[in-house]
Amino acid sequence: MSVVLNFRSHLSELFAQALREVSPESADTSILIERPKQTAHGDYACNLAMQLAKPLRKSPRDIANALIAALPKTDFIEKVEIAGAGFINVFIAPAAKQAVVNSVLTAGAGYGHGHVGQGRKVGVEFVSANPTGPLHVGHGRGAAVGDCLCNVLHAAGWNVTREFYYNDAGVQIDNLTLSVQLRCKGVTPDDPSWPDSGYRGDYIADVANAYMAKETVEADDQHITGKGDVEDKEAIRHFAVAYLRREQDLDLRAFQVEFDVFSLESALYTEGKVEATVQKLIASGHTYEQDDALWLRTTDFGDDKDRVMRKSDGGYTYFVPDVAYHLEKWKRGFVRVINEQGSDHHSTITRVRAGLQALDEGIPKGWPDYVLHQMVTVLKNGEEVKISKRAGSYVTLRDLIDEVGCDATRYFLAARSPDSQLVFDIDLAKSQSNDNPVYYIQYAHARISTVLAQWGGDKQALHTVDLSVLESDYEKVLLQKMIDFPTVIETAANDLAPHQIAVYLKDFAADFHSYYNASRFLVEDEQVKLARLALIAAIAQVLRNGLSLLGVSAPEQM
C-alpha cells in the first residue's frame, strides 16, 4: 500500500475528479473535507452533495450516489457511506492510518511541519514594552502568544523574524527620567510634590540607587555607567532606559522568549527616518497645517478623523515614528508583518495603515496584520490581585514565573484565544494535580518515557515493526489524532491562533490517558508489544513537538 497521510487534500482531489465527471459545469465548487465529530460518521466527511442540490435541482442523496460512483478507486479508502441529509462519509483503511506511526518516528521533531509559508519572510513584533518598568502580566500574554505564534508560523514553513520595538523616545521617557531624578534627590512618591505622571514603583528607587552608586549595566548592545550626577538629566535618561531594558531582557530570558531584532524608536529619529517619512507624507499631498500643527488626512484612508503628526510644540506624535518604523519593515522585505499587542492599542491600526497608504509605496491595504490580546486578570485565593511589591500598580510577569513556574505561566497565557479576556488563576496554575492542564499533558509524556525506559529495547527497532494489530478503538483514535497534527499547525498558522495547539494537546493527552488505563504495553506477545510501543513512542514525539510549539518542556519523569 502506498503511504498517503494527507487524506484531507487527497480526498479533496478525488472528489474534484468525481465532480468533473458528474457535473462539469459545477467544477469550480469549493470542496470541503472535514472531520466528523462522531466516529460513526467515518473519518472524513464531504458535504458536496448538499451544496450541489440546489444548483443541480436534484436530491442530495442522488448526487451523493453519483459522486461515489465516480470516485476514483484508491486503496486507502475502506468504504464510503451516505448519511443524514446527504453527507458522504469516508472510512480510511486501518493500514493507511497505521502508517502514521512510521512517519512520526521517521520525521521526529519535524513531524507536523508543513510548507504553506513557502519560506516567505514574516516579521512578528510582540511584547514591545516601553522601557519604563518591569514587564507586567499583559506583556506576558503578548510574549507567550507571540512566541508561540512564531513557532507555529515557523513550523508552517514561514521564515520568521521575532522583533521587539522599544518606545525609548517620547513623553513617557521624560516622565521616567524625572521620576528617577526625584528619587536620586530623596523625594518619594508619598511626597506632595511627586508629579501625577511620575512612576511610583519601588524599582524607580533601585534605578536611582544604581545610578548614584555609579553601577554599570549591560543592555544587549551597550554598556552604561551611572554618572551619579543628580542634575544631568541626559545621563539619567540613558542610564534609566538601559537599566530597565536589561531588567526586561532578564524577564524575557526567564520566560524563555528570545528575539532576533530589537528596534529602537530613538534610532528612527537619530537616523533621520522620522524626518524622511514626514517629508514623504507632505510630498504625497495628504497633509495640511492647522492650529500650528501638521495633520495627516487619515480620513482619506478610513479613519474617523484626521490625526496630528507634528504638535504645535514641534514634537511628533507617536504614530509618526510608528509609520516610519513600518516603512522600514516593508523595505526589509517582509511580505507579511504581524503585530501582537494589547487590545488597548487597537486604535493605532487604522492610523498606521493609513500612514503607510499615504506614502504610496505600493504597500497592500491590510498590511500589517494585527493580533490583539484582551486584558488579563490575575486571581489568587479567589480574589483579584492588582499590585506587586516591586512595580506597585500592576502584577509583574516575574511574579507569575516565580510563583507558578515558566511552563505553567506560558501555557496559561497562550492556551486561550487572544480575543477573549483571560482570568489567570494562580492557585490553579500552581496546583500539581488533575486540575492543571499543563501537568496533564506533560504527565502523558512522562508516562510514555517510563514505559519505554522499562522496556529498554532499541528505539530504532520500532521503526520497522508490524503495526497491523493496532485495531482497538483507542488506537484508531490516537492514530487519527496524529494524522491531524499537521493540519492543526497549518490552521493555527493561517488563523493566527496559537491557542489551537494547546487545545489539541489537551485533547490528545486525554485520549492517551484513556488508552493507558485501558491497555498494557509490556505484554508477552512480542508483535503486540512492539506495535504498541511504536505507537506510544510516536505519541510521545507528537506531544514533544506540540509542547515545544508552546515553549513548554516535555519532562521524562514527573
For residues 298-317, which are near RNA according to CB under 7 A? 304, 307-308, 311-313, 315, 317
Q: How far is the CB of 230 from RNA (least distance, A)?
A: 25
What sign does the CA torsion over 241, 337, 114, 442 have? positive
- The answer to the question of residue 265 lying near RNA (CB under 7 A) is yes
Give me 245's grid cell. Answer: 531594558
- The answer to the question of residue 461 lying near RNA (CB under 7 A) is no
Q: How far is the CB of 375 from RNA (least distance, A)?
A: 5
Range 227-246, binding RNA (CB under 7 A): none
Residue 337 carries which DSSP code?
E
Member of 87, 126, 158, 330 binding RNA (CB under 7 A): 87
Paired residues of 264 in beta bridges: 166
Q: How far is the CB of 271 from RNA (least distance, A)?
A: 17
- The answer to the question of residue 521 lying near RNA (CB under 7 A) is yes
- The answer to the question of residue 287 lying near RNA (CB under 7 A) is no
Closest by CA position to 328, among listed 364, 394, 369, 276: 276
Member of 18, 53, 371, 543 binding RNA (CB under 7 A): 53
User: Does a cis peptide bond (omega within 30 degrees of 0) precede residue 368?
Assistant: yes
Within the chain, what is the greatest distance between any pair of CA atoms? 88
> How far apart, in whole angstroms, are the C-alpha atoms of residue 146 and residue 151?
9
How many Å separate Cα 402 from the centre of its chain? 23
- The answer to the question of residue 29 lying near RNA (CB under 7 A) is no
- Segment near RNA (CB under 7 A); pick from 106-114, 223-231, 370-378, 461-469: 370-378
- Segment near RNA (CB under 7 A); pick from 184-192, 231-239, 359-367, 439-447: 439-447
Give me 337's grid cell. Answer: 508583518
- Segment near RNA (CB under 7 A); pick from 51-59, 186-194, 277-285, 475-483: 51-59
Q: How far is the CB of 383 from RNA (least distance, A)?
A: 13
Closest by CA position to 340, among listed 259, 249, 273: 259
- The answer to the question of residue 473 lying near RNA (CB under 7 A) is no
> How far apart, in whole angstroms, are the C-alpha atoms of residue 370 and residue 363?
16
- The answer to the question of residue 41 lying near RNA (CB under 7 A) is yes
- The answer to the question of residue 25 lying near RNA (CB under 7 A) is no
Q: How many CB atoms lie within 10 A of CB 364?
A: 12
Range 196-225, binding RNA (CB under 7 A): none
- The answer to the question of residue 495 lying near RNA (CB under 7 A) is yes
Burial of 521-530, coded b for 16+ CB within 10 Å and e otherwise, reads: beeeeeebbb
Burial of 187-212, coded b for 16+ CB within 10 Å and e otherwise, reads: eebeeeebeeebbebebbebbbebbb
Which residue number, 199 or 230, has a Cβ lying nearer to RNA?
199
> How far apart, in whole angstroms, are the C-alpha atoms of residue 149 and residue 311?
37
Name the helix (H) or strand (E) containing 171: helix 171-184
Q: Where are the alpha helices (DSSP H) in 360-434?
A: 397-404, 406-414, 426-430
Q: How far is the CB of 209 from RNA (least distance, A)?
A: 26
Paired residues of 159 in beta bridges: 121
Q: How far is the CB of 404 from RNA (least distance, A)?
A: 12
Which residue number, 205 or 503, has a Cβ lying nearer to RNA?
503
> How far apart, in whole angstroms, are the C-alpha atoms of residue 235 and residue 243?
12
Member of 2, 25, 37, 524 binding RNA (CB under 7 A): 37
- The answer to the question of residue 42 lying near RNA (CB under 7 A) is yes
Member of 291, 383, 458, 526 binding RNA (CB under 7 A): 291
Range 375-434, binding RNA (CB under 7 A): 375, 415-417, 419-423, 425, 432-434
Q: How far is the CB of 52 from RNA (least distance, A)?
A: 9
Member of 27, 171, 276, 387 binding RNA (CB under 7 A): 171
Torsion of CA 505, 511, 512, 515, to 10 degrees: 180
Which residue number, 230 or 474, has a Cβ lying nearer to RNA?
474
- The answer to the question of residue 83 lying near RNA (CB under 7 A) is yes
Member of 14, 18, 47, 238 binding RNA (CB under 7 A): 47
